């Protein structure tokens, strides 16, 4: 039997502030987010492949990879979500103002068409990734919405939970496509 402590490896050199989140991609890349907008890209061996400091001083609270494009990563910081390409980490591809308060969690549905953002106002905002517009805002929680996740094989359904001790299953109603 392998002693789990013997395989523990400390990854160093990535952050100088408190690390708050990590996202893992399908190709073995990881992105860790920290206070004051700091991001670090790692390979699965713990090698620091690059760093980025987002504009502003907002903490990075969530990092999630696209389920279809291994190089696309979504990062929440403050009231915003930035889209990055891990191949060119120094460039922010897009930045979306999603909420009026801090975003706590992100989830991208398996078709890579919608992004859900859970925020401190108790809402889940749904961003249509085809046009970059908020499609709907689901206000169900009476306190901070701490987590959100799309359901497998149901790209229009998600579950959210919050500090109000509630768990909600929510279905997005069909809506007209974004104007192109």
- 76-130 pLDDT, tens digit per residue, is 999 999 999 999 988 899 999 999 999 999 999 999 999 999 999 999 999 999 9
pLDDT at 172 over 80: no
Inside any domain, residue 180 = no
Phi/psi at 12 (5° precision): -120, 160
| Total tally of structural domains belonging to the chain | 2
Asked whether residue 116 falls in the same domain as residue 168, the answer is yes
Domain ranges, residue 63: 16-97
pTM over 0.85: yes
7: left (phi over 0), alpha (psi -120 to 50) or beta: alpha
| Whether residue 89 sits in one domain with residue 117 | no
The verdict on 39 and 88 lying in the same domain is yes
For residues 35 and 57, give the distance between their C-alpha atoms in angstroms, rounded to a whole number: 8
Q: Is 5 helix (H, G, I), strand (E, B) or coil?
A: helix
């Amino acid at each position: 039997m392998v002693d789990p402590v013997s395989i523990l490896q400390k990854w160093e050199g990535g952050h100088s502030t408190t690390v708050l989140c990590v996202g893992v991609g399908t190709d073995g890349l990881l992105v860790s987010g920290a206070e004051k907008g700091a991001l670090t890209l790692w390979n699965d061996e713990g090698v620091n492949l690059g760093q980025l400091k987002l504009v502003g001083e907002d903490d990075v609270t969530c990092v999630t990879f696209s389920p279809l494009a291994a190089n696309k990563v979504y990062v929440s910081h403050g009231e915003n979500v930035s889209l990055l390409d891990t191949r060119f980490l120094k460039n922010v591809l897009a930045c979306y103002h999603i909420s009026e308060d801090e975003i706590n969690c992100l989830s991208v549905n398996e078709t890579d068409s919608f992004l859900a953002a859970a925020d401190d106002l108790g809402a889940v905002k749904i961003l249509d990734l085809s046009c970059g517009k908020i499609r709907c805002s689901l206000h169900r929680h009476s306190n901070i919405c701490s987590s959100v996740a799309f359901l497998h094989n149901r790209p229009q359904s998600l579950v959210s939970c919050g500090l109000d001790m509630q768990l909600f299953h929510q279905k997005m109603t069909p809506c007209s496509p974004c104007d192109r």
